[in-house]
Structure 1
Amino acid sequence: MKVLFVCLGNICRSPTAEGVLRHKLWEAGLIEQVQVDSAGTGDWHVGKAPDARTRVAAQRRGYDLSQLRARQVEAADFGRFDLILAMDKSNLANLQRLRSGAGAELDLLLQRYELALDEVPDPYYGGEDGFETVLDLIEQACDALIDEIKGRL
């Protein structure tokens, strides 16, 4: 199975989701069966590491994002991935416009798993607590995603 997480710049939310899911897949013994990636709908940060605040918050919880680099989502991703999960409605709309036919299943990460919020808020312009909130939401969603993956495999 192949999963792609998408946010705006691929430096805060989607790399966090990639790192969290990789860690949880490893813990569940599923890391060899699932490919995980992340991308942004924008191109401002292509080739850059995740935001330093994102990396620090993730590291405090045991997630290593240091090897990740931002990339922009492309039309070919719809054929490469089984499931593409957007962090918010704006990015979901951008993905729907980019999509040209069949391919990957497309959904909002939090809405898919019926969590308290529909969207993962962008912490970029806020304080440290925003990065912690993002981690809380993504950890909950990734636990549910692991259950879904187990059911699919």
Structure 2
Amino acid sequence: MTRVLFVCLGNICRSPTAQGVFASQLQASALQHEISIDSAGTGGYHTGEPPDQRATAAALKRGYDLRMQRARAVADEDFEQFDLILAMDQSNLDNLLARAPANARARIGLLMDYAPDWPQEVPDPYFGGEAGFEQVLDMLEAASRGLLEDLARTSC
């Protein structure tokens, strides 16, 4: 079982959306029983809260249901329990790399590395309007496809 963790700052917009988008693509793939996913935030500001209502509404319009997710902060054990930890932007990547133990099992990187034709950072839509949430969904759909293709290649 390959375990993947999606990470943003508060775990209420980008990373739960990434989890929802990837879960949908994963469910339609041959790898659905070989990959486990979760999301978290580098800050524990919203621990226990559901995803942002705007993120949830935008995701639902595209068929992704985020309503059962709850925010949590990245935990020390995540660096051992997950194989791949993917940040939404450079700031969160830097925080993860600084926090990771030297012998961490997880590979840590940017999610958008799996969508090289897109910007490498997923912008935080929290302080913007509806268009920001749509842009995030577009980016995460592309990155999820690339990630799934990469995982399919490496698990064969």
Unaligned 5+ segments in structure 2 are: none
Corresponding residue number in structure 2 for 1:144: 146
Contact 1:111 1:119 in 2 (8 A): no
User: Deviation of residue 121 (structure 1)?
Assistant: 0.2
Contact 1:11 1:50 in 2 (8 A): yes
Measure the CA separation in 2 of the matches of 1:30 and 1:13.
Answer: 23
Contact 2:51 2:66 in 1 (8 A): yes
Unaligned 5+ segments in structure 1 are: none
CA RMSD of the aligned region, Å? 0.9
Identity, in percent, stands at 50
Instruction: Give me the TM-score of the superposition, normalised by structure 1.
Output: 0.97
Measure the CA separation in 1 of the matches of 2:26 and 2:114.
Answer: 19
Q: Which amino acid aligns with 1:46?
A: T
Instruction: Give me the TM-score of the superposition, normalised by structure 2.
Output: 0.95
User: Deviation of residue 114 (structure 1)?
Assistant: 1.4
1:12 paired to 2:34: no
Contact 1:113 1:144 in 2 (8 A): yes
Measure the CA separation in 2 of the matches of 1:68 and 1:152.
Answer: 28
User: Deviation of residue 29 (structure 1)?
Assistant: 3.2
User: Deviation of residue 96 (structure 1)?
Assistant: 0.7
Superposition pairs of residues 3-152 of structure 1, within 5 angstroms: 3-102=4-103, 103-152=105-154
User: Deviation of residue 116 (structure 1)?
Assistant: 2.1
SS at match of 1:64: coil
Measure the CA separation in 2 of the matches of 1:57 and 1:131.
Answer: 6
Aligned length: 153
User: Deviation of residue 88 (structure 1)?
Assistant: 0.4
Measure the CA separation in 1 of the matches of 2:106 and 2:115.
Answer: 18
Q: Bigger shift: 135-144 or 74-83?
A: 74-83
Measure the CA separation in 2 of the matches of 1:48 and 1:100.
Answer: 28
